[in-house]
């Protein structure tokens, strides 16, 4: 039997080291747990078995989750992981956000593992093991407490959902009845985890997200919904050309308007700087305040009306050099023409290859805006030497340090509360939005200030998708039709990730003997950032369109071509291709004006076997006489190793298909004199229900069962665009090398359509 010390503190401290070097958390500060809700009472309702797990007398288990919930179900997944080992009844589990403030004052209660506060990577194995261990350790303490109460050996005790059963006598105790004693148990050693084959919940059940019942009642509190006593509202406008400066404004013109309290200026020079070295998850680069002005009023509508009426003049600054989108593209083409990019993948000698058919193309993707449906916002109360902020962040660990840095207030005096998030897609990762909230609120101390970006402000002050322009060239082998040499120059802005480009197994596996891939940077004043699956969302479109062109030039079916290129690589790539194609009816005849296209990619580790999520899609597309594109069906086959919650994975893939489809069909923000032109959804179209494919078939048959639970939210951003573009080519014979597709004229006459033959040359040999 385990040592039964009744010292709660020693339990908590003894539990600081678990399997895998995980820190469970230090002793909690007496009487002040510092939790921050999703919303609700500030006092703990039950007994903590660690800062992560609280069990109430009525058996309700609260799991505190550091990752925010942005719609991907990350929060629910962590609670599921705990539940698997804890053995509690799922209907008694709830989840709430862990407090970054608590983490700080307790010295790292939640700061362990890989990006603990980041909304991505919700089911990745590193975090999963932690949550499983937390559940197992809590369960063993409950068992030890029951054994002590009954004075029986602990190995005679079994758990049933939320129950402890003494096998020989059939006596029972509920978890809630022994939670208090369990909290004081000191175990000689932390328990080992069950093997996955013993799991009864993970991979078996597919519960919906825990927060849905409140959500469908409109009770979920997003950042924009925070209500505080005495709260005032701010409407914000930043320099339209990013990096520009406020030249002049006339507050007197609006100060007498109803409800208006103040006009405040955001001056980037007034950022105070952190008093200690900040530990922001992603660093503070890219989070700088932007010159701006805000009107503060009793209500948001008053603030917005006054801001609209405020006479303002801006100094556009160096951003004005980008007079148009075409000017940016011109600069890109000039860089590509020099062919002087940094080489990031090299094999053989591309220059020594001659003879054979040449396939060449210039491809490009534009600036796009994340367009989270909840506009950017945040609420903060700055008082003397303390600050409290309520933020819809994608990473509390980032937001917290940005708040510290902007206000200069000591971190122990900074409380950041995570709210629910109405969409992230990368936009709320860096917390530049949090900085603007604090930059405004610190100019109006003593009152909670809710700062709201209008839709137009949100769209025109983005951290845009990194646009990519790439020139690809292949020389095809006369016999096989496969490339014997591929060279490419890519140009991007800002973050330069290789996913979908230099990590594609076409170029890394050795199947193409001569490869040279290079990349260069075009510095823009327009700010770029993370947009769902950064860089990959461009590169995969470009690479998979180019490979399709090679297949057509070689006269080989695009599926067959990819199978030949990938046949010696990680089998799951071929499996994904074959299964998606088979399920989609690849090769079956289609009506004129329709086509099927295929594409495959991996986020984020295409160059490695059994890593990342490999995903293949086949899109079935119709293009009308007028040139309207409709995507009728998408078949998806993928390998992320294993899945812990099948329906959650399906939902992410469905959503990812639609998001990525919108990127390819619709999205582009354009530039005029350094500023973004589009302001709202009338100018930046988003697919509606009527436009979404009726059939998005997610097939689980390509799962390799390799021991990994890889992330799933980003992977669909790769194959959907090129699958649709390649299908459009099959339907119309028109090759689209740039997105958005809606800007291409695909109209044909009825006679043209009647004479379209489809371009697939060979039939599929398998």
Partner 1 sequence: MATVRFRVNGKARSVDADPSTPLLWVLRDHLQLTGTKYGCGIAQCGACTVHLNGGAVPSCQVRLEDLSGADVVTIEGLSKQGDHFLQKLWVELNVPQCGYCQAGMLMAAADLLKKNARPSDADIDGALSNICRCGTYPRVRMAIHRAVAEQS
- Residues lying near partner 1 in the complex (CB under 8 A) are found at 69-73, 208-209, 211-222, 224-225, 227, 233, 258, 299-302, 305, 371-375, 420-425, 452, 454-455, 647-648, 651, 654-659, 680-682, 686-690, 692, 694, 696
* For partner 1, the closer CB: 69 or 181: 69
Residue nearest to ligand FES (CB): 373
Residue 696 binds which of partner 1, ligand FES, none (CB < 5-8 A, kind-dependent): partner 1
* For ligand FES, the closer CB: 70 or 502: 70
- Report which of 228, 236, 230, 249 is spatially closest to residue 300, judged by C-alpha positions: 236
* For partner 1, the closer CB: 497 or 648: 648
How far apart CA 573 and CA 610 sit, in angstroms, is 10
* For partner 1, the closer CB: 94 or 735: 94
Residue 761 binds which of ligand FES, partner 1, none (CB < 5-8 A, kind-dependent): none
The distance from CA 223 to its chain's CA centroid, rounded to whole angstroms, is: 18
User: Token pair for residue 498?
Assistant: 């290789």
Identify the sign of the CA torsion 209, 211, 212, 215.
negative
Least gap, CB of 446 to partner 1 (angstroms): 20
Residue 227 binds which of partner 1, ligand FES, none (CB < 5-8 A, kind-dependent): partner 1
Residue 503 binds which of partner 1, ligand FES, none (CB < 5-8 A, kind-dependent): none
Least gap, CB of 272 to partner 1 (angstroms): 30
Residue 647 binds which of ligand FES, partner 1, none (CB < 5-8 A, kind-dependent): partner 1
Q: Are 139 and 87 in contact (CB under 8 A)?
A: yes
Least gap, CB of 757 to partner 1 (angstroms): 32
How far apart CA 253 and CA 567 sit, in angstroms, is 70
How far apart CA 497 and CA 569 sit, in angstroms, is 22
Least gap, CB of 37 to partner 1 (angstroms): 15
How far apart CA 493 and CA 542 sit, in angstroms, is 16
How far apart CA 360 and CA 475 sit, in angstroms, is 9
Least gap, CB of 216 to partner 1 (angstroms): 4
Please give the backbone phi and psi of residue 530, each rounded to the nearest 5 degrees, phi first. Answer: -90, 130
Least gap, CB of 680 to partner 1 (angstroms): 5
User: Token pair for residue 673?
Assistant: 């004199």
* For ligand FES, the closer CB: 71 or 319: 71
How far apart CA 353 and CA 374 sit, in angstroms, is 53
* For partner 1, the closer CB: 509 or 663: 663
Residue 309 binds which of partner 1, ligand FES, none (CB < 5-8 A, kind-dependent): none
- Cβ-Cβ contacts under 8 Å for 569 (sequence gap 6 or more): 505, 509, 511, 609
How far apart CA 290 and CA 572 sit, in angstroms, is 46
Residue 107 binds which of ligand FES, partner 1, none (CB < 5-8 A, kind-dependent): none
User: Token pair for residue 453?
Assistant: 């970006």
Residue 305 binds which of partner 1, ligand FES, none (CB < 5-8 A, kind-dependent): partner 1
Least gap, CB of 716 to partner 1 (angstroms): 9
Residue 565 binds which of ligand FES, partner 1, none (CB < 5-8 A, kind-dependent): none
* For partner 1, the closer CB: 155 or 219: 219
Least gap, CB of 611 to partner 1 (angstroms): 26
SS3 percent helix, strand, coil of the chain, rounded to 5, is: 30, 25, 45
How far apart CA 14 and CA 9 sit, in angstroms, is 8
- Report which of 590, 561, 589 is spatially closest to residue 577, judged by C-alpha positions: 561
Binding site for ligand FES (CB under 6 A): 71, 373, 423
* For ligand FES, the closer CB: 6 or 373: 373
Least gap, CB of 655 to ligand FES (angstroms): 8
* For ligand FES, the closer CB: 425 or 573: 425
Would you list the DSSP string of 513-570? SEEEEEEEE---SS-EE--SSTTHHHHHHHHHHHHHHHHHHHT--HHHHHHHHHTTS-
The distance from CA 397 to its chain's CA centroid, rounded to whole angstroms, is: 16
* For ligand FES, the closer CB: 100 or 371: 371
| 256 torsion bin: left (phi>0), alpha (psi -120 to 50), beta (else) | alpha
Q: Are 497 and 612 in contact (CB under 8 A)?
A: no
Q: Are 420 and 392 in contact (CB under 8 A)?
A: yes
Least gap, CB of 328 to ligand FES (angstroms): 30
């Amino acid at each position: 039997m385990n040592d039964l010390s009744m010292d709660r503190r020693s339990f908590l401290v003894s539990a600081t080291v678990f399997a895998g070097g995980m820190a469970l958390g230090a002793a909690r500060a007496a009487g002040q747990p510092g939790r921050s809700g999703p919303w609700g009472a500030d006092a703990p309702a039950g007994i903590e078995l660690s800062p992560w797990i609280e069990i109430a007398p009525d058996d309700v288990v609260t799991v505190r989750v550091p990752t925010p919930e942005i719609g991907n179900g990350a929060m629910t997944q962590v609670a599921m992981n705990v539940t698997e080992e804890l053995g509690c009844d799922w209907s008694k589990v709830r989840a709430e956000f862990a407090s970054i403030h608590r983490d700080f004052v307790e010295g790292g209660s939640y700061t362990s593992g890989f990006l603990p506060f980041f909304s991505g990577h919700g089911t990745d194995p590193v975090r999963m093991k932690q949550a499983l261990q937390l559940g197992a350790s809590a369960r063993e303490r409950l068992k030890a407490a029951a054994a002590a109460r009954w004075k029986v050996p602990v190995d005679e005790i079994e758990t049933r959902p939320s129950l402890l059963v003494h096998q020989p006598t059939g006596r029972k105790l509920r978890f809630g009845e022994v939670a208090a004693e369990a909290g004081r148990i000191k175990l000689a050693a932390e328990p080992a985890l069950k093997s996955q084959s013993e799991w009864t919940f993970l991979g078996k059940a597919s519960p919906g997200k825990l927060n849905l019942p409140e959500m469908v009642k409109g009770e979920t509190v997003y950042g924009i919904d925070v209500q505080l006593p005495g709260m005032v509202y701010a409407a914000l406008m930043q320099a339209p050309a990013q990096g520009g400066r406020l030249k002049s404004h006339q507050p007197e013109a609006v100060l007498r308007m109803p409800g208006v309290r103040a006009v405040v200026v955001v001056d980037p020079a007034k950022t105070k700087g952190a008093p200690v070295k900040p530990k922001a998850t992603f660093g503070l680069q890219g989070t700088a305040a932007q010159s701006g002005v805000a009107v503060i009023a009793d209500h948001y509508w008053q603030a917005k009306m006054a801001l609209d009426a405020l006479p303002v003049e801006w100094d556009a600054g160096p951003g004005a050099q980008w007079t148009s989108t075409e000017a940016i593209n011109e600069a890109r083409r000039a860089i590509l023409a020099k062919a002087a990019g940094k080489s990031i993948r090299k094999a053989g000698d591309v220059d020594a290859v001659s003879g054979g058919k040449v396939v060449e193309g210039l491809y490009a993707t534009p600036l796009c805006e994340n367009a989270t449906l909840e506009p950017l916002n945040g609420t903060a109360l700055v008082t003397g030497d303390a600050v409290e902020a309520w933020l819809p962040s994608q990473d509390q660990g980032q937001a917290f340090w940005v708040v510290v840095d902007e206000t200069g207030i000591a971190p122990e005096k900074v409380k950041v509360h995570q709210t629910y998030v109405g969409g992230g897609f990368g936009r709320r990762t860096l917390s530049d939005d949090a900085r603007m909230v604090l930059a405004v609120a610190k100019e109006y101390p003593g009152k909670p200030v809710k700062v709201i970006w209008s839709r137009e402000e949100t769209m025109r002050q983005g951290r845009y998708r990194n646009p990519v322009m790439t020139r690809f060239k292949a020389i095809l082998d006369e016999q096989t039709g496969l490339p014997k040499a591929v060279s490419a120059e890519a140009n991007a802005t800002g973050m330069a990730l290789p996913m979908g480009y230099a990590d594609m197994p076409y170029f890394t596996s050795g199947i193409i003997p001569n490869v040279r891939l290079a990349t260069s940077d075009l510095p823009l004043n327009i700010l770029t950032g993370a947009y769902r699956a950064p860089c990959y969302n461009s590169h995969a479109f470009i690479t998979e369109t180019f490979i399709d062109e090679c297949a057509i030039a070689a006269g080989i079916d695009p599926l067959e071509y990819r199978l030949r290129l990938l046949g010696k690589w990680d089998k799951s790539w071929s499996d994904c291709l074959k299964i998606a194609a088979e399920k989609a009816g690849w090769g079956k005849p289609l009506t004129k004006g329709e086509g099927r296209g295929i594409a495959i990619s991996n986020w984020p580790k295409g160059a490695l076997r059994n890593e990342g999520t490999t995903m293949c899609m086949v899109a079935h597309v119709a293009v009308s006489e007028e040139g309207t594109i409709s995507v009728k069906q998408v078949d998806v086959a993928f390998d992320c190793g294993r899945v812990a919650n099948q329906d959650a994975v399906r939902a992410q893939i469905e959503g990812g298909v639609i998001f990525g489809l919108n990127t390819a069909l619709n999205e582009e923000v354009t530039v005029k004199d350094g500023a973004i032109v589009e302001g709202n959804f009338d100018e930046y179209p988003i697919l509606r229900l009527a436009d979404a494919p009726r059939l998005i078939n997610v097939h689980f048959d390509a799962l390799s069962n390799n021991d990994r639970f890889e992330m799933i939210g980003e992977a669909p951003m790769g194959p959907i665009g090129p699958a649709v573009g390649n299908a459009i080519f099959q339907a119309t014979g028109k090759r689209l090398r740039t997105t958005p597709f809606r800007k291409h004229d695909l109209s044909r006459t009825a006679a043209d359509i009647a004479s379209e033959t489809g371009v697939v040359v060979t039939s599929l040999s398998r």
